[in-house]
Amino acid sequence: MSGLSMRNPERRIETNPFDVDAWNLLLREHQSRPIDQEREFYESLVNQFPNSGRYWRAYIEHELRSKNYENAEKLFQRCLKITLNIDLWKCYIHYVADTKGQLEQFRETMANAYDFALQNIGMDAQSHVIYTEYIAFLKKVPAVGQYAENQRITAVRRVYQKALATPMHNLDAIWADYTAYEKAINMTLAEKLIAERGKDYQNARRVEKDLQTMTRGLNRQAVSVPPKGTASEAKQVELWKKLIAWEKTNPLQTEEYGQFARRVVYTYEQALLCLGYYPDIWYEAAMFLQEASQTLDEKGDVKLAAALKQETISLYERAITGLMKESKLLYFAYADFQEEHKQFEAVKKIYDRLLEIEHINPTLTYVQLMRFIRRTEGPITARLVFKRAREDKRTGYQVYVAAAQLEYNCMKDEKVAIRVFQLGLKKYENEPEFGLAYANFLSNLNEDNNTRVVFERILTSAKLPSDKSIRIWDRFLDFESDVGDLASILKVEKRRKAAYEDAQKELQMNHSMLVIDRYKFMDLMPCSGEQLRLIGYNALKGTENNTGAPTTNTKVLP
Amino acid sequence: MSGLSMRNPERRIETNPFDVDAWNLLLREHQSRPIDQEREFYESLVNQFPNSGRYWRAYIEHELRSKNYENAEKLFQRCLKITLNIDLWKCYIHYVADTKGQLEQFRETMANAYDFALQNIGMDAQSHVIYTEYIAFLKKVPAVGQYAENQRITAVRRVYQKALATPMHNLDAIWADYTAYEKAINMTLAEKLIAERGKDYQNARRVEKDLQTMTRGLNRQAVSVPPKGTASEAKQVELWKKLIAWEKTNPLQTEEYGQFARRVVYTYEQALLCLGYYPDIWYEAAMFLQEASQTLDEKGDVKLAAALKQETISLYERAITGLMKESKLLYFAYADFQEEHKQFEAVKKIYDRLLEIEHINPTLTYVQLMRFIRRTEGPITARLVFKRAREDKRTGYQVYVAAAQLEYNCMKDEKVAIRVFQLGLKKYENEPEFGLAYANFLSNLNEDNNTRVVFERILTSAKLPSDKSIRIWDRFLDFESDVGDLASILKVEKRRKAAYEDAQKELQMNHSMLVIDRYKFMDLMPCSGEQLRLIGYNALKGTENNTGAPTTNTKVLP
């Protein structure tokens, strides 16, 4: 046991709030104490791991042991729908069975609970217990008279039918059970019914075998924690992605698109229980829901289409109020989804929610918001976003570049664009990227003299750290090579060399090879790739791993 | 012995014409045969290794053994001045001594030969033998009468003086020799003279010790071959560069800038005998000569300044007619040197010589020539270079980009620039970089619709390989993000994703994370650097080694 795990779990959690082992140790301690003193602990537990079925269940079972049924009920309301964990749902079924027995409509309540569970997790490979219990429950329902008897048989058959079409464990036993059941009711009819069900059963059985192969090695009990980049984490991600990809091949070969989509979505939900800190899984799940909704819409299934659209929104909401609450990616994707559906006010609220989080750099959000407003209300209104961004102290220089681009590209007004850059330069004189963007903008406009002025201003700014200035010198040299005379070129080159030497003092390199930059053009170099490497050019330019020329012209401003 | 070296040397040289060991084996064979049959071999040897003193010497000595003095004389003329190898020069001295003995002016010829040698390699640490021989020769010159006697003493003293001021081996013996010589002439005067010389001698002695340390591990016998990138090659390069850097610190602490410069130049020359395939050493040597010439000019030493300027030209000529005959870098540097000195016709000839080499891609040369003509004769004349480049079948698309830039940046005429791009597009439809440059150019001009047309044209061109198209899709997405509506953005993004999937079929990657590009702006990313890595974005974009955002806005067109 490592030194770390010898320390007491509270201390360990202070260091790393995602230390699952330490939480488990704590949980074991707290489970034996009276619930009245432990709610604070449980709340911090489910707050830290809001999508862990296991921790919710521990909390609820503790309440149940003390017969605090009302508390348990409230906890179920908080977690059931967002935590499709089979054990948690079994716990719920047992809770209903144990607590509602006294009620007048007990049977109806119970059947509703079973239906509710099957609707939500009835696709799970481990949901067979719920099916079998449900069937057993239905069989035991007293039925007086032929009519009631028939109704009971129909109900039982309906559950059997659903169970036998589902790829899950223990199918063979359910099948044997079912055939016996039918034969006991009516030997003659049984043959026909069994033959009908048999197809589904064989199909589900085949898929269940494949599913077992696909889920080998998958740890479904894993608790979502921020990934550390370990190999075992990567393996789990790979296995989940494989499983999802497999479900997308429609292994059940169902012709019902809705059923197919539901299974894929269920697999995403299961993956998110373990990989809740992976924005890509959330994003892909949302994309799948969106596409599925669209497909269903095209197929004419308007109702399910609308339901999946609603689920997309729920998923996004769950993401940005839960584990993904700081993921700009998911806010942006959510906003775009709403924009596609012309819910422009909803879009604004999404951006606002992200902007309200004090410690998140809002710059990119303002840029996206500005673009959104430009698209939906036009560039003039988009200026208001720029104004709002300027007044926000957290905003970075990139907003000024985006605003200048907007003026130039959308308002087609270079004068205003230049004013925006001038405004920014006062504030971000020590941001080389900003200066570079400004100089690039001016040189694209053929404003040669102004370009030189900006280069000189940012390069002579005392605030510019020397190691940051070298990229600007590179660009200045390119500029002079394009339009300057040889004396200007040589002068800039000489100063650039000094800047490099200053920035790379510790590297003890020979900087005369920076002359390469004077002679290169696009991907054409005045030396072979091998020579560039040998004479140390790549090291100078910090492109040691590339063999050939550095990429140029990758992005253009404005 | 490896399998390779077991094969006969001719075969090995066929495989690798720079197999020095094989050449040495051959040389041993050929040395024992009559020279009349061997000239072809020797010519191929010195052709392959034109700056190897050892091979020249072997050739010459073979001629000398057969008393073919005229041939030897011609060979010396070919190699002496460009091969400052001490053993070759010793051989030369012995050749003069052996062959000119019959001549009437033998003594004068001999003294001239010694002076010529000392002038060229008298700075070499191993040149002591030549000094001592010269002194011995002078001492033996018959002198009749006091005047002649005094003249002889002056001559001997002059050589001693030069020798004792030179950091070289065996200085102590020469010093002992010198003091004995002076004392034998005049005991009284000796003391004063010895004291005077003593300062130079002590200084040279000190520097010689340092020199020994500096040259430890340096293989001065190495023959110049194209580097293979081995560690031992790198070590030699490092040692030579250290030695040069040390000489640049003026270890002799001389106040004569000319003497200092000469020593540095001599060290460069020695380095080039071994590292003749390193363009950076040639370039730095030329730069040093240029700067030294300028410094001397500023100091008023017009004569030496002019000499060093001439030496610069010789060095460039030696480079581009010798081992560097395919190095565009040295042609361009040479051209710039001549341009600085307003030798515009000479510049044109340099570019022409490079363009005449059939197998060298002339594109970059045309670009540089175009820029040169733009600087010296204006952009209208520069158009003629573009015309010439267009007529050259070897020319690549980059010339069209450069010409369009010229029209836009220097003629300030965007219409002509667009025509140039249109002309190029017909020819280079399958060059993604060209299409990209064109699209960038148009989008910078706010020609939104035309930009879209060009993007569509190059992206739907059947000639464009899918793996090359993805960078264009990236740029197209950037463009639409700047100016398009959401539908256009989503449409481009979807097609871009398909292009990536097509190009990266074998990678089995999930391409949905390309959405990152839709949301990034400059260096702002919608995910943390760690997340980008974990969700495979960096792998998708081929920037696996970067932790953060990929660099944008590095270069701008036009």
pLDDT value at B182 more than 70? yes
Give the number of other Cβ atoms within 10 Å of residue B427's Cβ.
14
Peptide bond into B558 cis (omega under 30): yes
Taking the CA of residue B336 and the nearest CA in chain A, the distance in Å comes to 8
Q: Show the tokens assigned to A308.
A: 């999946």
Q: What percent of chain A has pLDDT over 90?
A: 75
The pLDDT value given to residue B4 = 52
Give the number of other Cβ atoms within 10 Å of residue A361's Cβ.
14
Q: B433–A280: do the CB atoms touch at under 8 Å?
A: no
Q: How far apart are CA B435 and CA B450, in angstroms?
A: 12
Tens of pLDDT along A250-291?
Answer: 999 999 999 999 999 999 999 999 999 999 999 999 999 999
**Residue B380 — very low, low, confident or very high, per pLDDT cuts 50/70/90?**
very high
When the pLDDT of each residue in chain B is averaged and rounded to a whole number, the result is 90
- Give me the mean pLDDT over the A17-40 stretch: 93
**Residue A462 — very low, low, confident or very high, per pLDDT cuts 50/70/90?**
low
pLDDT value at B135 more than 70? yes
- Give me the mean pLDDT over the A110-139 stretch: 95
Closest CA to A556 of A410, A455, A441: A441
The pLDDT value given to residue B550 = 36
Distances from the Cα of A558 to the Cα of A343, A445, B434, B442, angstroms? 30, 10, 19, 11
Q: How far apart are CA A173 and CA A175, in angstroms?
A: 5
Q: Show the tokens assigned to B436.
A: 């990209």
Residues of chain A found within 8 Å of residue B471, distances taken between Cβ atoms: 554
pLDDT value at A373 more than 60? yes
**Which of A517-526, B53-62, B216-225 shows the lowest per-residue confidence on average (mean pLDDT)?**
A517-526
The pLDDT value given to residue A4 = 53
**Per-position b or e across B35-62, b if 16+ CB within 10 A of its CB:** beebeebbeebbebbbbbbbbbbbbbeb
Sequence-distant (6+) residues with CB within 8 A of B320 are B327, B330, B331, B334, B350, B353, B354
- Give me the mean pLDDT over the B192-204 stretch: 94
Q: A444–B443: do the CB atoms touch at under 8 Å?
A: no
Rank A102-116, A362-376, B463-477 by mean pLDDT and report only the highest.
A362-376
Residues of chain A found within 8 Å of residue B329, distances taken between Cβ atoms: 515-516, 519, 526-527
- Give me the mean pLDDT over the A107-115 stretch: 93
The pLDDT value given to residue A553 = 35
CA B411 to chain centre: 35
- Give me the mean pLDDT over the A397-426 stretch: 94
Rank A538-552, B50-64, B523-537 by mean pLDDT and report only the highest.
B50-64
Which of B446, B482, B553 lies closest to A437 in CB terms?
B553
Tens of pLDDT along B154-181?
Answer: 999 999 999 999 999 999 999 999 999 9
pLDDT value at A117 more than 80? yes
Give the number of other Cβ atoms within 10 Å of residue A360's Cβ.
17
SS3 content of chain B, % helix, strand, coil (to 5): 75, 0, 25
Closest CA to B280 of A507, A532, A481, A497: A532
Taking the CA of residue A13 and the nearest CA in chain B, the distance in Å comes to 22
For residue B244, give the chain A residue with the closest CA. A510
Residue B427 has phi, psi (to 5 degrees) of -90, -35
- Give me the mean pLDDT over the B315-320 stretch: 96
Tens of pLDDT along B509-536?
Answer: 677 788 888 888 888 888 888 888 888 8
Which of A488, A489, A553, A557 to probe by mutation at the B interface, max B CB count within 10 Å? A553
Q: How far apart are CA B485 and CA A117, in angstroms?
A: 43
The H or E element containing residue B370 is helix B363-377
Tens of pLDDT along B470-511?
Answer: 888 889 998 998 888 888 998 998 888 888 888 777 666 677
**Residue B39 — very low, low, confident or very high, per pLDDT cuts 50/70/90?**
very high
Q: A408–B446: do the CB atoms touch at under 8 Å?
A: yes
- List, as one string, the DSSP characters of A482-501: HHS-HHHHHHHHHHHHHHHH
The pLDDT value given to residue A432 = 84
Peptide bond into A558 cis (omega under 30): yes
Its pTM stands at: 0.80
Residues of chain B found within 8 Å of residue A401, distances taken between Cβ atoms: 522
- Give me the mean pLDDT over the A514-541 stretch: 84
SS3 content of chain A, % helix, strand, coil (to 5): 75, 0, 25
**Per-position b or e across B510-549, b if 16+ CB within 10 A of its CB:** bbebbbbbbbbbbebbbbbeebbbbbbbbebbebeeeeeb
**Which of A131-145, B47-61, B94-108 shows the lowest per-residue confidence on average (mean pLDDT)?**
B94-108
pLDDT value at B552 more than 50? no
Closest CA to A512 of A526, A529, A497, A525: A497
The pLDDT value given to residue B498 = 86
Q: Which 8-state DSSP code applies to residue A555? A: B
Tens of pLDDT along B254-273?
Answer: 999 999 999 999 999 999 99
Cβ-in-10-Å burial (0-12, 13-18, 19+) of B329 comes to buried
Query: If you compute the radius of gyration of chain B from its CA atoms, what whole number of angstroms results?
Result: 32
Which of B398, B521, B543, B552 to probe by mutation at the A interface, max A CB count within 10 Å? B521
Residues of chain B found within 8 Å of residue A486, distances taken between Cβ atoms: 336, 339-340, 375
Q: Show the tokens assigned to A376.
A: 């939906």
**Residue A506 — very low, low, confident or very high, per pLDDT cuts 50/70/90?**
low
Query: If you compute the radius of gyration of chain A from its CA atoms, what whole number of angstroms results?
Result: 32
Give the number of other Cβ atoms within 10 Å of residue B282's Cβ.
27
- Give me the mean pLDDT over the B244-248 stretch: 96
Which of B329, B493, B511 to probe by mutation at the A interface, max A CB count within 10 Å? B329
Residues of chain A found within 8 Å of residue B555, distances taken between Cβ atoms: 475, 478, 552-554
- Give me the mean pLDDT over the A125-149 stretch: 93
Q: B486–A375: do the CB atoms touch at under 8 Å?
A: yes
Taking the CA of residue A399 and the nearest CA in chain B, the distance in Å comes to 9
- Give me the mean pLDDT over the B337-341 stretch: 95
